[in-house]
Amino acid sequence: MACTIIVGGFFGDEGKGKIVAHIARRDRPAIISRGGVGPNAGHTVNIGEKTYGVRMVPSGFVYEEALLCIGTGVLVDPRVFLSEVDLLGVKGRAFVDERCGIIDEAHIQRDKGSDHLSKTIGSTGTGCGPANADRVMRIGRQAKDVPELAEYLMDVPAEINESLDDGEFVLIEGTQGFYISLYFGTYPYVTSKDTSASQIAADNGVGPTRIDDVIAVFKAYPTRVGAGPFTTEMTPEEAHELGIEEFGTVTHRPRRIGNWDGERARYSAMINGCTQAAITGIDRIDPDSYGCSDYNKLSKVAKDFIKKAEDDIGAPVTLISTGPDISHIIDLRKEL
Ligand code: IMP
Ligand code: MG
């Protein structure tokens, strides 16, 4: 398990942040590096009384010994990055690849000002689409051109590959979800880049032969923010009956709620090359499982759900999240 990638199996917001934070604490990676689009993603980490929503710094920041990196393929909004570094007190161990594309105010204005992006697609308005468009047109700025980022610059892929050569554990954190991938998602209702495990590896300059594990994270009740097809979506009334109400970490928009989609889970696991899966929100399937950390104490309802999910996904479910706190988890993985 020298190099593990975490990805979202559905439409994003599956709880990757919490899974990453847990793995970081248990398995002590030398480096935790972020892949994915950019600050359009928000990861939430709850520790005791505190809730952190991170958009640039990897969610594994809770493990204090790791270097926290942003991979080459990820867009950086310097203002968001610098404010998170400050807020989380991670200066000295937070780094940005020197080649990362940069988001500036003009990108944000183009994102918010475009009816197509902001209304039809329902973008997060964080400037990611226009910044990726500029990169493709080869007119965008890079991290090395931004004086405020000078002290944070690193050759992130070199650092990761050297760490792997030394036999250290590296955790690569994906963002977004499989079905909002530019290639594999519900186009055009997607984000501005691929979000599958191969892309997350490429974002960090890690070759396909170096990946040992891909953990895909699935939500028991999937959600979607923004427009686009969602075959298992339930009505707001049904969601209310179940006591489910969620809001986006970045945009605070209400999330659409759906039922488990076995077919989509299987397809996403296949393309991601999923070796293990994590299921989050089991406490919504069976409220009695809230906070449980022992598989044997789960009810039959919860265990049956996990068994069915495992059959759909085609890989073992080794992590089961039973509540929002970092401690609300059942970890069936082998010790490293
Ligand atoms: P954009 O990535 O901001 O251009 O938004 C395009 C679509 O992707 C919109 O439907 C967003 O709601 C969705 N999206 C982008 N990032 C995330 C994420 O991290 N979680 C969930 N949805 C996202
Ligand atoms: Mg999110």
Q: Can you give the pLDDT at residue 99?
A: 98
* Nearest one of 196, 199, 223 to 44, comparing CA atoms: 223
Site to substitute for ligand 1 among 40, 103, 189, most atoms within 8 A of C-beta: 40
Domain boundaries of the chain, sorted by first residue:
2-335
CA of 196 to the centre of ligand 2 (A): 15
Site to substitute for ligand 1 among 123, 124, 186, 219, most atoms within 8 A of C-beta: 124
CA of 210 to the centre of ligand 2 (A): 27
* Catalytically annotated residue among 22, 27, 43, 312: 43
What is the number of the ligand 1 atom nearest to the C-alpha of 117?
4
Does an H or E element contain 199, and which?
helix 197-203
Q: List strands edge to edge, sheet with 329-331.
A: 153-154, 94-97, 67-70, 31-34, 170-173, 3-8, 213-219, 276-280, 317-321, 329-331
- For the chain, what is the mean pLDDT? 96
Query: For residue range 71-97, what is the model confidence (pLDDT) as tens digits?
Result: 999 999 999 999 999 999 999 999 999
**Distances, alpha carbon 323 to alpha carbons 25, 42, 264, in Å:** 17, 18, 24
Please give the Cα distance from 73 to 88 (Å, whole number): 23
| pTM attached to this predicted model | 0.97
Number of neighbours of residue 27 by Cβ within 10 angstroms: 17
In this prediction, residue 336 has a pLDDT band, given cuts at 50, 70 and 90, of low
Query: For residue range 40-67, what is the model confidence (pLDDT) as tens digits?
Result: 998 888 989 899 889 999 999 999 999 9
In this prediction, residue 151 has a pLDDT band, given cuts at 50, 70 and 90, of very high
Nearest ligand by distance to the CA of 249: 2
Strands 170-173 and 153-154: unpaired
265 DSSP assignment? H
CA of 40 to the centre of ligand 1 (A): 6
Q: Can you give the pLDDT at residue 40?
A: 96
Nearest ligand by distance to the CA of 177: 1
Query: For residue range 97-124, what is the model confidence (pLDDT) as tens digits?
Result: 999 999 999 999 999 999 999 999 999 9
Indicate the residue type of 51.
T
CA of 39 to the centre of ligand 1 (A): 10
Please say if 104 is a catalytic residue.
no
Which residue has a Cα nearest atom 14 of ligand 1? 191
What is the number of the ligand 1 atom nearest to the C-alpha of 228?
10
Which residue has a Cα nearest atom 21 of ligand 1? 12
Q: Can you give the pLDDT at residue 38?
A: 98
Q: State both tokens at 170.
A: 């590296």
Indicate the residue type of 216.
A
Nearest ligand by distance to the CA of 44: 2
292 DSSP assignment? -
> Span 146-153, mean pLDDT?
98
Please say if 304 is a catalytic residue.
no
Query: For residue range 239-279, what is the model confidence (pLDDT) as tens digits?
Result: 999 999 999 888 899 999 999 999 999 999 999 999 999 99
**Distances, alpha carbon 5 to alpha carbons 33, 62, 140, 192, 219, in Å:** 10, 18, 28, 20, 17
Return the CATH number of 2-335, one of 3.20.20.60, 1.10.1270.20, 3.40.440.10, 3.30.565.10: 3.40.440.10
CA of 176 to the centre of ligand 2 (A): 7
Q: State both tokens at 227.
A: 């427009």
Go through the chain and tell me how many residues it has. Answer: 336
Cα 140–Cα 142–Cα 145 angle in degrees, nearest 5? 115
DSSP string for 238-253: HHHHTT---B-TTT-P
The ligand 1 site (C-beta within 6 Å) comprises 12-13, 37, 40-41, 121-124, 126, 128-129, 175-176, 180, 191-192, 225-226
Burial level of 245, CB count in 10 A (0-12/13-18/19+)?
Answer: exposed
Query: For residue range 279-332, what is the model confidence (pLDDT) as tens digits?
Result: 999 999 999 999 999 999 999 999 999 999 999 999 999 999 999 999 999 999
Please give the Cα distance from 324 to 284 (Å, whole number): 11
Query: For residue range 184-212, what is the model confidence (pLDDT) as tens digits?
Result: 999 999 999 999 999 999 999 999 999 99
> Span 26-48, mean pLDDT?
95
Q: Can you give the pLDDT at residue 1?
A: 55
Q: Can you give the pLDDT at residue 249?
A: 87
Which residues neighbour 239 within 8 Å (Cβ) at sequence distance 6 or greater? 245, 257
- Do 324 and 290 touch, CB atoms closer than 8 A? no
